[in-house]
């Protein structure tokens, strides 16, 4: 996915001709369109036009706007989760830096114009997103916990889980209290330092 919406650029499946898979193009475009106009104001026609696909072609891929929104949001969050996992696995870097980068990917990128709008749209339509609303944050919590456990082997798993839970709560709070990604990172860096003394 491109830009600040939905993770690092992803190489999606391609057709034999080397063109990007149409479904991935539509999902990327849909996520950007929902971020720009919101869920209620975005029509299937808007997405079809932006993705340069016919409306019948879009309906061939997705039966409804709800299905398209859920697929686009879930794909974006899964991309974020993969990127956060990649940041956490690089054990050549200090744990504090890895945590900061992972939280920036998972939460910080949703500050600012398009990202902030997308987070608001997702939050307002949690019912449309289904199980991914619970599953993906739970998986992120597990990734953070595992990174803390590996880096601080002398610590009990319960303490690592509490640190992960507290950092997640801090990141969510900071997302709503800060206007810029830089401020988010600075404040989260302080929270990480306090919790990992």
What integer best gives the mean pLDDT of the chain?
Answer: 84
> 20 by DSSP, 3-state: which?
strand
Per-residue pLDDT tens digits for 14-65: 444 444 588 999 999 999 898 888 888 999 999 999 999 999 999 999 999 9
Query: Rounded to an integer, what is the distance from CA 48 to the centroid of its chain?
Result: 23
Give backbone dihedrals phi and psi of 14, rounded to 5 degrees, phi first.
-120, 160
Kindly report, residue by residue over 157-193, the tens digit of the pLDDT: 889 999 999 999 999 888 888 888 899 999 999 999 9
CA 158 → CA 36, 120, 142, 148, 162, distances in Å? Answer: 41, 32, 12, 11, 6
Task: Output the six-digit token pair for 97.
Answer: 């830096």
d(CA 89, CA 73): 24
Is the pTM above the cut of 0.85?
no
């Amino acid at each position: 996915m491109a830009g600040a919406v939905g993770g690092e650029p992803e190489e999606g499946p391609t057709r034999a001709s080397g063109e990007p898979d149409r479904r991935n193009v539509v999902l990327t475009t849909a996520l950007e369109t929902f971020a720009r106009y919101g869920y209620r104001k975005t029509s299937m026609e808007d997405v079809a036009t932006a993705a340069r696909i016919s409306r019948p072609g879009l309906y061939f891929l997705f039966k409804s706007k709800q299905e398209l929104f859920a697929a686009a949001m879930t794909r974006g969050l899964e991309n974020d989760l993969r990127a956060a996992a990649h940041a956490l696995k690089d054990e050549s870097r200090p744990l504090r830096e890895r945590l900061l980068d992972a939280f920036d990917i998972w939460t910080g990128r949703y500050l600012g114009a398009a990202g902030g709008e997308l987070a608001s749209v997702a939050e307002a339509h949690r019912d449309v997103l289904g199980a991914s609303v619970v599953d993906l944050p739970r998986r992120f919590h597990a990734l953070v916990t595992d990174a803390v456990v590996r880096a601080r082997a002398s610590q009990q798993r319960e303490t690592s889980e509490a640190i992960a839970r507290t950092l997640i709560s801090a990141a969510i709070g900071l997302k709503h209290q800060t206007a810029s990604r830089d401020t988010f990172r600075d404040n989260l860096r302080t929270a990480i330092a306090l919790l990992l003394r």
